[in-house]
Amino acid sequence: MKKSSFKSPLSRLVTLVLFGLLAMGACKSKKKVVEAAPEPAPVEEPAPAPAPEPEPTAEEVAVGKLEGYFSTIASASSVQSANSSIQEALSMFSNQNTPVLIVIHEENGIKDYDEPTTIAKYLNYLKDTKKNLNFISDVRLDGSGKITELELRRR
């Protein structure tokens, strides 16, 4: 007859402990599988469209065009091309005698101006000197979009 190995309380205890460890190990591995499962990626909402750039004002457009004309006139390769650019630039003004004020100094909001000139004289000055030393600091427009006054500053 065979002798049963489960009769000893020690062997039963060891067998139960091993069985319990195996059962607990199986549970832990199931938990690991559940925990290891990748979480669903968060749904990203599309970024809101950037706010459209505000349209440039009539003054900003005029300043941009006029700065281009000043540069073109000062760097013209011939007198004829400079005169052509001058005629185009003059079309932006209410008349050829539109005042051009050049700020030479400002302190506490009080501006000192160079001798006032007209736009026609200033554009011819650019043509003759071939130097554009000023930038536009202020421009005034009439109701039809023509420039009625121009203020410049030294660069």
Tell me the pLDDT tens digit for each residue of 63-111. 999 999 999 999 999 999 999 999 999 999 999 999 999 999 999 989 9
| pLDDT per position as a tens digit, 49-63 | 788 888 889 899 999
The model carries a pTM of: 0.66
What is the CB neighbour count within 10 angstroms for residue 148?
15
Can you give the residue ranges of every domain in the chain? 58-154
Strands 147-154 and 99-107, bridge-based pairing = parallel
